[in-house]
Structure 1
Amino acid sequence: MPNVSPILRKVLAATGALLITSAAAAQGGSYEASLSAARLGDTRALATLLQRGIDPNTVDAQGNTLLILAARDGHAQTVETLLSHRAGVDARNLNGESALMLAVLRDHGRVVDQLLKAGAAVDHDGWTPLHYAAFEGHTALVDKLLARGARVDARNPAQATALMLAARNGHIAVVRRLLEQGADSTLRNDRGLTAAEWALSNGNTDIADLIARQHATR
């Protein structure tokens, strides 16, 4: 700036620094606002932030994307908005949980339908949506996942199948459904227990009897 006085140069420099600081603060504010909007299901606020350029795949400190946060708490309209902005449907947080897994865990059927329609994966390494549905006894969601091709005998890190988890927790309707779909009752987890043995260890004798009868007819 050959024709600018030293004083004016300082003023311009200070103004530039202020603008940069203000922009950084605004960006940080948008980040926090987007996470809050996803958690609370404030679709209008989130849509505005997305239109202003906030990344639809923004993540929090635990690796939860905006879609995971919205799906976890059953905010179907917010989920739809994020999907329309091409949010990654199969992203997983630091615990290995996807939006579909957490929607299944909390029995948010409408959100599960949205995610499945968007092509969310029903099978992957580690815990799967079917494991979560079986663990909680969500029979209708077990049916949806199996209809989408979920592997009935998929193993979690402890080598447990959906059948084992349902048997352990006393969810006889889920156990019956999984057996009807060909679940292998002879498999053992990392403690050496079959589904029937795990059921018995938790006092679920009716489930152990059901599995024994089913096994005898095969």
Structure 2
Amino acid sequence: MGDTKRVLFRIQTNLMRIIFFVYEHLDGFVIVHGTDTMSYTASSLSFMMEELGKPVVLTGAQKPMAEMRTDAIDNLQGALVIAGTLIIPEVALYFNRRLFRGNRVMKTDAQDFHAFSSYNMEPLIKMGTEINCNWDLIWRSQKPTKFSISHGWNPNVALLRIFPSITATTVRSFLQPPIRGVVFQSYGAGNGPSNREDIIREIKVAIARGVFIVIISQCQTGIVSSAYAAGAAFAQAGCVLGADMTPSALAKLSYVLGLEGLTATQRKELLETNIRGELTQADLTKFSLSNSTFLQSVADSMKASTEAEIHLIKASLFPCLMCSAAKEGNFQGIKKLKEDGGDYSMTDYDGRTPLHIAAAAGHELLVEEMLLDGCPVHKKDHTGCTPLTEAIKNKHFQIIEMLRNAGAVLKCSQQQTCNELMMNVVGNDLDAITAWHAGGADLDASNYDGRTALHIAVARGAEDIVRFLISQGCDPERKDNFGRTPMSEAAEQEEIIELLEWGLSMKDPPPNET
């Protein structure tokens, strides 16, 4: 991508649009990027890509691929493996065998291969002889809606680092229009010049004028707090305390200010809220092995004492328990297991997740609750089936609709789709064909002979199925590889011929010849 020091918002927008247009056809995405501004792009994309359900991984290299001892090959291979095999619905940055959340990472070394760090959060993945994924940290949206991109973005934001001798004139100049938002890097836990009434006055004037000010720390680790008087002065002046956000707060500020139709209060609430995993909210509690009653009880009975042993117990028991609870439609059981360290990405021996099983069993309320809790919808089992495929095969129409609204896409080849439709035609199962259509199947899909479900339905005299296929726009004049059309298959079946002629009448008339 060239010298990414000159990467513009336009390029980031183009990246998003490319991903959006091919999103349904691919399992993950890798963006090769220069390292100097890669963390800024990762942070920006993490906010601009909404309800992401697939991995978007940025990577680069300290030394170009053509040079000896390059790190480019290792970084690119690792990024491709992660994007192609794991369902991590985040914008992330992969470097030196570590995967970091895109809005939590910073470049910290200009020469070492270990160039990126995420001080306030562990890496999502540590790559060694095995891929060790910290599933407890994976961010999942709790809005079961389709992937979209945000077109709102306000570039009028800036970063100001506080220092002891900074003048009120400097602060005033920095806060002048067209600036709409500023990230202040303060001392320690959010401490600032509380004894500088002139600076506090300039901050209050700017906030009254509609400028949003977010306070983050100059320290690499720690959290901004109003516990100290100096930190409380910023909060009392109307600033937003940015918790443990990195300079990625700039990207969040641009995103929030670019959203239309929000009041100042709503924007401030969004800035204080964890919307993409970019900050740690003090009132959120995270699971740890030490406070899991169930796991600890099992560990005690098995005389397991180390954390590694407890992790092995968890990996062995929890997938079976969560899938069993899903089969019974027991959301409270799944919820308790999840609180004890379970994860919706856990699979049974067939690679099926709890959502696969709940969708197949038709537990509508359970599926709805799991989707609201951020359950991934794109996971494939060992046969290539997704939860959407399971819902289709079992004709659970309400679940099909919920999954599609949550962004699920039917991942079958044209020939696979055609084979399923043809088997249902042979079985005279109109409900099954309707389910495949509701799931997004192409009813005009053809097999290796070029024949479609309509060819077979006409040949077998399945009038109800023919009526449905025609009503959904299937082509009565579609030729197979032998030149036969559904119309030619109809022979003397008068009622079916009438249906096919009805289908022909609904087709767009040919353009007038000149």
Normalised by the shorter chain, which TM-score bucket? Answer: 0.5 to 0.7
* TM-score under structure 1 length normalisation: 0.66
User: What is the aligned counterpart of 1:151 among 442, 450, 468?
Assistant: 442
Higher helix share: 1
The 10-residue stretch of structure 1 (117-126 or 30-39) with the greater mean CA deviation from structure 2: 117-126
The one-letter code matched in structure 2 to 1:138 is D
Cα separation, partners in 2 of 1:22 and 1:50, compared to 1, 3 Å = closer
The 10-residue stretch of structure 1 (85-94 or 63-72) with the greater mean CA deviation from structure 2: 85-94
Q: Determine whether 1:188 maps to 2:476.
A: no
User: What is the aligned counterpart of 1:90 among 378, 394, 404?
Assistant: 378
Higher strand share: 2
Measured against aligned partners, the alpha-carbon deviations of 1:42-93 in whole angstroms (never above 9, x if no partner) come to: 2111111223332212222222222111101101122122212322223332
Q: Shift of residue 129 of structure 1?
A: 10
| CA–CA separation in structure 2 for the residues paired with 1:94 and 1:212 | 43
| CA–CA separation in structure 2 for the residues paired with 1:143 and 1:27 | 35
Cα separation, partners in 2 of 1:181 and 1:31, compared to 1, 3 Å = closer
User: For the pair shown, which has the larger CA radius of gyration, 1 or 2?
Assistant: 2
| CA–CA separation in structure 2 for the residues paired with 1:192 and 1:61 | 46
User: What is the aligned counterpart of 1:73 among 361, 375, 400?
Assistant: 361
Cα separation, partners in 2 of 1:56 and 1:188, compared to 1, 3 Å = same
Q: Determine whether 1:18 maps to 2:305.
A: yes
Name structure 2 gaps, 5 residues minimum: 1-302, 505-514
Q: Determine whether 1:105 maps to 2:393.
A: yes
| CA–CA separation in structure 2 for the residues paired with 1:158 and 1:94 | 28
| CA–CA separation in structure 2 for the residues paired with 1:182 and 1:44 | 44
| CA–CA separation in structure 2 for the residues paired with 1:99 and 1:48 | 22
Q: Could you say which residue in structure 2 is the equivalent of 1:38?
A: 326
SS of equivalent to 1:138: helix
Note if contact 2:397-2:435 (Cα within 8 Å) is conserved in structure 1: no
The one-letter code matched in structure 2 to 1:21 is E
Q: Shift of residue 137 of structure 1?
A: 1.4
Name structure 1 gaps, 5 residues minimum: 1-15
- Report the aligned-residue RMSD: 4.0
5 Å matches for 1:151-190? Answer: 151-155=442-446, 161-164=452-455, 171-185=462-476, 186-188=478-480
The percentage of aligned residue pairs carrying the same residue is 25
Q: Shift of residue 182 of structure 1?
A: 2.3
Note if contact 2:351-2:382 (Cα within 8 Å) is conserved in structure 1: yes
Count of aligned residue pairs for this structure pair: 194
Measured against aligned partners, the alpha-carbon deviations of 1:148-179 in whole angstroms (never above 9, x if no partner) come to: 86533134678654435655787532321211
Note if contact 1:133-1:142 (Cα within 8 Å) is conserved in structure 2: no
Cα separation, partners in 2 of 1:23 and 1:66, compared to 1, 3 Å = same
The one-letter code matched in structure 1 to 2:332 is R
Q: Determine whether 1:137 maps to 2:430.
A: yes
| Structure having greater relative contact order (Cα 8 Å, sep ≥ 6) | 1
Note if contact 2:444-2:452 (Cα within 8 Å) is conserved in structure 1: yes
Q: Determine whether 1:52 maps to 2:340.
A: yes
Measured against aligned partners, the alpha-carbon deviations of 1:128-155 in whole angstroms (never above 9, x if no partner) come to: 499559823117945962xx86533134
Note if contact 1:130-1:150 (Cα within 8 Å) is conserved in structure 2: no
Cα separation, partners in 2 of 1:64 and 1:181, compared to 1, 3 Å = same
Measured against aligned partners, the alpha-carbon deviations of 1:164-204 in whole angstroms (never above 9, x if no partner) come to: 56557875323212112221243438x99866798x9xxxx
The one-letter code matched in structure 1 to 2:480 is R
The one-letter code matched in structure 1 to 2:444 is D
The one-letter code matched in structure 1 to 2:305 is L
| CA–CA separation in structure 2 for the residues paired with 1:129 and 1:38 | 30
User: What is the aligned counterpart of 2:405 among 102, 109, 117?
Assistant: 117
* TM-score under structure 2 length normalisation: 0.32
The one-letter code matched in structure 1 to 2:473 is G
| CA–CA separation in structure 2 for the residues paired with 1:163 and 1:111 | 27
Note if contact 2:487-2:500 (Cα within 8 Å) is conserved in structure 1: no
Cα separation, partners in 2 of 1:24 and 1:162, compared to 1, 3 Å = same
